[in-house]
Amino acid sequence: MKYSVKVDAFEGPLDLLLHLITSYEVDIYDIPVAAITEQYMNYIHTMQELKLDVASEYLVMAATLLAIKSKMLLPKQEVQDFDQQMEIEMDEDPREDLVRRLIEYRKFKQAAVGLKEKETARSMIFTREAMDLTYYESQEEDVNPVANVTIYDMLAAMQKIFTKKLEKAPRRTTIERQEIPIETRMKQIINDIRSSGRRKFSELFASSNREHLVVTFLAVLELMKTKDVTCEQENNFSEIFIYATKENEV
């Protein structure tokens, strides 16, 4: 059984590239194309492995990165004329256009954050008389169901799980039918988290069955979407913890 899911948290290939540059703390003006391309392709392969709907713009960016990587591997042309050499050196960096696009995207992204903060601040201004807001303060933690964890962090965690489990699992020559619906797996996960208080993301993937891993991942995404769970991560690439946020049944 195949599941085709499009996750709203994806904002495009430039957003993914900027996430990688930030996570690996590299200079945006001197991008290590080989390393970033490898990580970008890992994310694309993980999306495809999880049967997520990968937009064509992600594949276009993948082709662009591979083209840049190829150009940077070509030997530099030797010229005798000094003026011609200076002109070639000024135009030879194939990363220039990508860097410009990333910088522009980062500006707009930061501007969007600023506008969102202004919108939030403006929404807190009321013309009515003062009232007790204690209830709303207690609900403030539920505003952001993903907490400080992004979809890219979830994909990175899934990469590790696939590497640990699927590479060690014996290769099968038959196709197994998936018996667990996403709704059933969601109930199992939320009940498990409520009974224990919290769960590590990796602890939810006890099985080595590929379909079970995929259904579990999609179930976690759906629980995040419905705000039944909150995910938290202390540092980049560290363990992700999942907490229950609601008492109602899934």
- CATH code, 144-250: 1.10.10.580
What is the token pair recorded at 22?
């930030």
Q: What is the mean pLDDT of the chain?
A: 77
What strands, in cross-sheet order, belong to the sheet with 240-244? 198-200, 240-244, 229-233
- Name the pLDDT band for 5 (thresholds 50, 70, 90): very low
Residue with tokens 């390393």: 35
The residue ranges of DSSP E strands in 47-123, in sequence order, are none
Q: Which residues contact 13 (CB under 8 A, 6 or more apart)?
A: 57, 58, 60, 61, 62
According to the per-residue pLDDT averaged within each range, which of 7-16, 29-38, 124-133, 147-156 is highest? 29-38
Q: Is residue 162 predicted with pLDDT exceeding 60?
A: yes
Q: Is residue 175 predicted with pLDDT exceeding 80?
A: no
Which DSSP letter does residue 201 get?
Answer: G
Domain ranges, ordered by start, for the chain:
1-125, 144-250
The most distant pair of C-alpha atoms in the chain lies apart, rounded to whole Å, by: 79
Task: Say how many CA atoms lie within 13 Å of 7 toward its Cβ.
Answer: 26
